[in-house]
A and B are shown apart, each in its own frame.
Chain A
Amino acid sequence: MIEAIGLTKQYGSKRAVDDLSFTVQPGLVTGFLGPNGSGKSTTMRLILGLDAPTAGSVTVAGRRYRDFPAPLHEVGALLEARALHPGRTAYRHLLVLAQTHGIPRSRVDELVDLVGLHDVANKRAGKFSLGMGQRLGIAVALLGDPQTLLLDEPVNGLDPEGIHWIRTLLRGLAAEGRTVFISSHLMSEMALTADHLIVIGRGHLVADMSVTAFLATASGQLVRVRAPRATELAALLSDPAVRVTSDGPESLEVSGLSSEQIGEIAAANGIALHELTPLRASLEEAFMDLTREDVEYKPQVHA
């Protein structure tokens, strides 16, 4: 379990993380979602004790990261960008980290095989493709068989096969009761991998809900109706809680009523319908709606 309470980080005049409180539960994959520059990586750095918070605190399994006598066995982390020396081979990189904890070489061998780097383990990591670098990073995270995993943009640079692999791996780890916390700026990816979502924008908490709840919100209650007597139908539907817009003489978009309700009203009044379609806003649209106010660098739109 990861617990942040009033977590705040100020870099000079910029407040990267602002009074952030959340809990990441074990047994679930929790997605940490936000636009670029929203404070995800800073939060990850704060959890790992790489940066000290300006205010507030964050603990893993009830302890500050710095207080773990053997952190690799508690928290496995994949950090944003590469945290390795490009001149060292993948095997040596893993070994160097394993040795600080007295983790045996056999475990290093095992991980090299697990992440599929067997053939390139003795190549210098600087020559690795983005995807191979990610696999090495994941091997580092799993080195100490930790209860908590913290992965910053784990699918970055992976090919479809790699993405499938990591998704299965993460779900499996969560099913074993581990805490899995992964950041991403891609909602669609999170919808497939995560059970729970923590959404931030400009350092603030925007949403903390299950993926199912998020999808329900995202699907909205927008229904497209086509009917020859559209104007007549629009009048029948009119209600303070209902909004009807029209983008053509025979076409309506209705929010505030389900497609069943609209169908019943139309039938009761003998109005023929040519189309009755519940519309689902795309996940990315819903995500953008949620964080619209919090995107740091908005494109300037000139009408």
Chain B
Amino acid sequence: MSSVDRPVRVTQLRVARSEWTKLCSLRSTRWSLLAAALLTIGFPLIFASVVEAHWGRMSPSEQANRQPLEIALIGVNISQLAIGVLGVLIITAEYSTGMIRATLSTVPKRLPVLWAKIAVYAAVTFGLALLSVLVAFFGSQAILNSKHILQIGLGDPDVIRSVLGAAAFLVLIGTFAMALGAIVRSTAAGIATFALILFVIPPLLNVLPSSWNRAISPYLPDSAGRAIFALNHGVNELSPAGGLAVFAATTACLVGIAALLLVRRDA
């Protein structure tokens, strides 16, 4: 048995490097990320093409209601599902495969694993989301430019904020989903909970008296998150900064619960 250079300890940076390798070394992860990018880019291009083709037949009021930024960011509504599902899976696949036993016996303090997973996935999501949103923005603008309609630039008011906000939204969605996965530890339950909170509960609230609905809805992850990159903010909606604060706080709470459970529970 040859001797090994004995480094002193497990560090947060080393765990992050390991988590980076984990993320990159799975085919399913690479495909999910590619799918998220394609959805973010593809839908705006399709929508822009449709608007461009039908422009002549639209009434002036209909034309006035078209928002170029909304078209550019339309894909985020769909790719959030891919980012969320992958976020859940990154955690729950460790439990379903048994990998978690190797992971936690290698890093017995446990918390560095959670921080590293979140940091690596957040960085990857942010980079990928920003890149694909920018491609979607310029791509949809180029399509619309052929009729010289709905032209905006990155320097126009709120454009940079919305583009960065969309990337931040996807990062928070991914982190939120990871925390859910770490709490429930099962893929099926994790994805179901994620879909319930993001897609099922919001429309259900419309059944409530509207005063209640107005008091609750804006603070839910979905609407708070959407406020970060939405162009127009209604009276019952949070401001971009408010939305960011609320969604980030909700996510932080969930991550806190996940961290506590990770340390307390048997693996």
Question: Is B14 an interface position by the 8 A CB rule?
Answer: yes
Of A99-107, A153-161, A216-224, A248-256, the segment with at least 4 beta carbons within 8 Å of chain B is A99-107
A110 and B2 within 8 A (CB) = yes
Minimal Cβ-Cβ distance residue in B for A99: B18
Chain B: interface residue total (CB-CB under 8 A) = 37
Known interface pairs A71-B10, A96-B18, A102-B7; A49-B107 also in contact (CB < 8 Å)? no
Counting residue pairs across A and B whose Cβ atoms lie within 8 Å, the total is: 112
Task: Give which listed residue, A66, A72, A102, A142, contacts B106 with CB less than 8 A.
Answer: A72
Q: How far is the CA of A66 from the CA of B15 in the complex (A)?
A: 16
Interchain CB contact (< 8 A) of B107 among A88, A100, A142: A100
Contacts of A100 in B (CB 8 A): 10, 14-15, 18, 106-107
> Which residues of A are found within 8 Å of B9, using beta-carbon distances?
69-70, 101
Contact B267 A50 (CB under 8 A): yes
Whether A66 and B102, one on each chain, are in contact in the complex, defined by CB atoms closer than 8 angstroms, is: no
Structural contact, A95 and B97, CB atoms closer than 8 A: no
Chain A residues, CB < 8 A from B99: 83-85
* A82 interface neighbour in B10, B17, B25, B98, Cβ under 8 Å: B98
A102 to B15, CA, bound (A): 9
| A55 surroundings in chain B (CB, below 8 A) | none
Q: How large is the interface on A (under 10, 10 to 19, 20 to 34, 35 or more residues)?
A: 35 or more
Q: Quick one: which of B15, B28, B101 has the most chain A CB within 10 A? A: B101
Main secondary structure of the interface of A (DSSP, over half): loop
Query: A176 → chain B, closest Cβ, in Å?
Result: 7
Q: Does B105 contact A (CB under 8 A)?
A: yes
Asked whether, in the complex, the Cβ of B101 is within 8 Å of the Cβ of A83, the reply is yes
Cross-chain contact B266 with A85 (CB below 8 angstroms): no
Question: Does A86 lie within 8 Å of B97, measured CB to CB?
Answer: yes
In the complex, what residues of B have CB within 8 A of residue A123's CB?
none
Known: A96-B21, A96-B25. A83 touches B102 (CB 8 A): yes
**Counting CB contacts under 8 A, is B6 at the interface?**
yes
For B13, give the chain A residue with the smallest CB separation.
A102
Can you identify 6 A-B contacts, CB atoms within 8 angstroms?
Answer: A69-B9, A83-B98, A101-B7, A142-B1, A145-B4, A173-B1
- Give me the interface of A with B, judged by CB distance under 8 Å: 45, 48-52, 65-66, 68-73, 77, 79, 81-89, 92-93, 95-97, 99-104, 107, 110, 140, 142, 144-145, 173, 176
